[in-house]
Amino acid sequence: MTKLSVNINKIATLRNARGGDIPNVVEVAKDVQRFGAQGVTIHPRPDERHIKYQDAYDLKPVVLTEYNIEGNPIDSFLKMVLEIKPTQVTLVPDAVDAITSNAGWDTIKHKEYLSEIISECKHNGIRTSIFVDPDLSMIEGAAHTGTDRIELYTEEFAKQFSLGNKGAIRPYSECAILADKLGLGINAGHDLSLKNIRFFKENIPNLLEVSIGHALICEAIYLGLETVVKNYLQKLT
């Protein structure tokens, strides 16, 4: 079975929009695990516009499944990761001002840089994963960095699938086959949703983990909205 790691960044975004501590990210992390999720993912950014660095520390005692921290390995991020020692760190080359992740690593150009960071994380008992585009050369490059896993960047698949182009899965399948041959574990994430996740899973051999946040939280709002409205109406009767 492929593990589901729930990215709770959007919960923090909602909290920050109003100030205070509602919704509480620690309680949400507890709940998604209670509901069956096998992991919790966060992606703190330098401006802390959603998950804050303090959240990363606060979540450590309550994530009893797999704790995955994603981010660009700048000094402050690495310091935090090495102190918290999550189950997994996913290295993502997002720019400081990026709205969301929009590209994978050039694992050939940045081989030495990535290798050094990965070595330090693994020395501290942290599993490593590299965010990569579905490009065979980038998969080969990732294998030379010493990483444990790769995370396939799935935005293009999701976009094409929504347009009816199921053939867009092909490069992802090919990369997964190569990654497995090279001894790399396979994760995936970005714009995966209830609409496309089964098809993706069925076509990606040895898929270990998916990290899903934006779509899952949006779907949770829609699927739960009727219940909440009816509960309010009942109390107002």
The CB density around residue 221, as the number of other CB atoms within 10 Å, is 11
The C-alpha atoms of residue 218 and residue 10 are separated, in whole angstroms, by 9
DSSP state of 8: -
The C-alpha atoms of residue 143 and residue 125 are separated, in whole angstroms, by 19
Indicate left, alpha or beta for 44 from its phi (over 0: left) and psi (-120 to 50: alpha): beta
Neighbouring residues of 210: CB distance < 8 A, sequence distance ≥ 6: 2, 3, 4, 5, 187, 188, 189, 192, 197, 200, 201
DSSP labels, 43-110: ---TT-SSS-HHHHHHHTTT--SEEEEEE---HHHHHHHHHH--SEEEE----TT-SS------TTTT
Burial of 214 (0-12, 13-18, 19+ CB in 10 A): middle
Q: Any idea which residues carry the catalytic annotation?
A: 43, 70, 190
Tokens describing residue 197: 């996740």
